[in-house]
Amino acid sequence: MRSTKRQAAVLLATLMGALACGPSDGAARPAERLSAQAGAPGIGDADFPLDGNGGYDVSHYALKLGYTPAGRRLDGVATIQATAKQSLTRFNLDLKGFKVSEVSVDGAAATFSRAGHELTVAPAAPLRQGSAFTVKVAYAGVPQPVVDSSNLGRYGFIPTPDGAFVACEPNGARTWFPGNDHPADKATFDFEITVPKGVTALANGELTGKPRTSGGKTTFTWREAHPMTTYLATATVGKFRLRQGTTPGGIRNLAAVDPKFAGSLDKLYKLSAEITDHWGTVFGRYPFSSTGGVVDDFSAGYALENQTKPLYGGFEPGADIIAHELAHQWFGNSLSIKRWKDLWLNEGFATYAEWLWAEHKGTGTADASFKSFYERPANDSIWAYPPGRARPDDLFNESVYSRGAMTLHALRGAIGDETFFELLKTWTSEHQYGSVTTEQFVALAERMSGKQLDALFDAWLFQPKRPTL
């Protein structure tokens, strides 16, 4: 009797403890222990609370896709290799739309549920912290791209008359495969894409074999063997004219254009080669195994630096934008941001690369570009928007690009050309294939220059007014 009573008292105290929010006495409470085992629905980016997921880290995606442009139907099987960062009774994947028919974990059927863009998976047995596991998701349906008319436009897997235009920044990967859709979790990718014969499927990296045709369908297999963020993954499908070869510097090069842009194929091929090779001398060795570009007949209103294959949306790209998208292969793709608020580390650097390209070609100087922006009146919107803190509701604001680039030019002026260009190379080599923050860049700039640069970075990146010179 006594002991039963005591057990009841302990149980009551435990329950009350679990309900109260007071400081922990160190003993794990049952309710806490349970909730600690569910992976968080977001990776921890406060600006995008449900993007990505907590509790695990993906190392590889194998995406087996079938797409029929006529019916706009995508059939997919995603096999995801990951490591549990905590014990997991369940975890989430990001997926928008589709009907999920089957989910397994390590070969055993798992239960799953859907809520908004979250697919919650409960493995048959909990996963132990540190264990490697494989999730397989079978899904099908008509992809629903993201449409953000006020800001980001249309992005994700976008059906076109002859295929699909696939550009996913910032969080459109979920419109065509389940995953950990946030740049903080990078992984390698294999793609096996089956499309009607006569249609080409272009994904990241390189073909791993010859396309196979049978029964009126062709299967393309691509592999990106270097870590990649989900938003840089692509499976752009359609009728394309191709030109393949290697750059003078020895990097495999593939240009692909929609027949409507057939006249720009050679120009895209040559400029992509020349620019990739040139950036290799300025930013350090090219980080991937191939380069190139794709022009599709879809007027996205933007281009995207898809890893190894930038995608240009419905226009013939000139040298400036090719220089921009290829600079992203270092800044954004090899070195990726940990949080979206640091987006200037991608866009400011890629914009500065455009200025450097003009300098290289003798058609302008970075200093002239800087001055033309600096002359803008005090009430111009780039002074009100500090680029060091990209806003979730206006991520790609012009300031993140132009004032981001001006920040680098101001830094160059403060530390001198020699240190500045050494800094760019050190930055890309120290963090190759990794994840970075603004604080890390500032620290490296200070270390390499031996200068206190807080005031400079604060004025350029964080103050809502035009910095004084």
Residues 385-406: b if buried by 16+ CB within 10 A, e if exposed: bbbbbbeeeebbbbbbbbbbbb
For ligand ARG, the binding residue among 162, 169, 181, 342 (CB under 6 A) is 169
d(CA 460, CA 352): 14
Q: Does 304 bind ligand ARG (CB under 6 A)?
A: yes
Shortest Å distance, C-beta 301 to Zn ion: 13
Q: Which does 181 bind (CB under 5 to 8 A by kind): ligand ARG, Zn ion, none?
A: none
Q: Does 157 bind ligand ARG (CB under 6 A)?
A: no
Residues 205-235: b if buried by 16+ CB within 10 A, e if exposed: bbbeeeeeeeeeebbbbbbbebbbbbbbbbb
Write 256-261 long-range contacts (CB < 8 A, 24+). Answer: 256/200, 256/202, 256/292, 256/293, 256/294, 256/295, 256/309, 257/294, 257/295, 258/162, 258/295, 258/296, 258/297, 260/297, 261/295, 261/297, 261/316
Q: Does 345 bind ligand ARG (CB under 6 A)?
A: no
Q: Does 315 bind ligand ARG (CB under 6 A)?
A: no
For ligand ARG, the binding residue among 51, 192, 296, 305 (CB under 6 A) is 305
Residue 40 — left, alpha, or beta (φ > 0 → left; ψ -120 to 50 → alpha)?
Answer: beta
Beta-strand runs (E) in 297-364? 303-304, 311-313, 336-337
For ligand ARG, the binding residue among 152, 164, 166, 257 (CB under 6 A) is 152
Write 376-385 long-range contacts (CB < 8 A, 24+). Answer: 378/465, 378/466, 383/464, 383/465, 383/466, 384/464, 384/465, 385/464
Q: Any idea of the CA torsion for 356, 358, 364, 369, to the nearest 10 degrees?
A: -50
Span from 117-125, 142-150, 349-357, 453-461 in contact with Zn ion (CB under 5 A): 349-357
Structure tokens that stand for 152 in this block: 């980001």
Amino acid of residue 406: M
Shortest Å distance, C-beta 305 to ligand ARG: 6
Residue closer to Zn ion by CB (options 298, 401) is 401
Contact 18, 31 (CB under 8 A): yes
Shortest Å distance, C-beta 436 to ligand ARG: 16
Span from 130-138, 216-224, 346-354, 402-410 in contact with Zn ion (CB under 5 A): 346-354
Span from 26-34, 81-89, 147-155, 180-188 in contact with ligand ARG (CB under 6 A): 147-155
Contact 12, 30 (CB under 8 A): no
Q: Is 364 helix (H, G, I), strand (E, B) or coil?
A: coil
Residue closer to ligand ARG by CB (options 194, 329) is 329
Span from 265-273, 301-309, 359-367, 443-451 in contact with ligand ARG (CB under 6 A): 301-309
Q: Which does 185 bind (CB under 5 to 8 A by kind): Zn ion, ligand ARG, none?
A: none
Residue closer to Zn ion by CB (options 277, 347) is 347
With CB under 6 A as the rule, give the number of residues binding ligand ARG.
11
d(CA 163, CA 360): 38
With CB under 5 A as the rule, give the number of residues binding Zn ion.
2
DSSP state of 169: T
Q: Does 181 bind ligand ARG (CB under 6 A)?
A: no
Span from 38-46, 238-246, 300-308, 384-392 in contact with ligand ARG (CB under 6 A): 300-308
Shortest Å distance, C-beta 320 to ligand ARG: 11
Name residues contacting ligand ARG, limited to 78-137 (CB under 6 A). Answer: none
For Zn ion, the binding residue among 93, 257, 294, 350 (CB under 5 A) is 350
Residues 6+ positions from 463 with CB-CB distance below 8 Å = 386
Residue closer to ligand ARG by CB (options 112, 302) is 302
Residue closer to ligand ARG by CB (options 333, 428) is 333
For ligand ARG, the binding residue among 153, 249, 392, 467 (CB under 6 A) is 153
Shortest Å distance, C-beta 323 to ligand ARG: 11
Rg, C-alpha atoms of the chain: 24
Q: Does 152 bind Zn ion (CB under 5 A)?
A: no
Residues that bind Zn ion (CB under 5 A): 347, 350
Residues that bind ligand ARG (CB under 6 A): 152-153, 155, 169, 302-305, 325, 347, 396
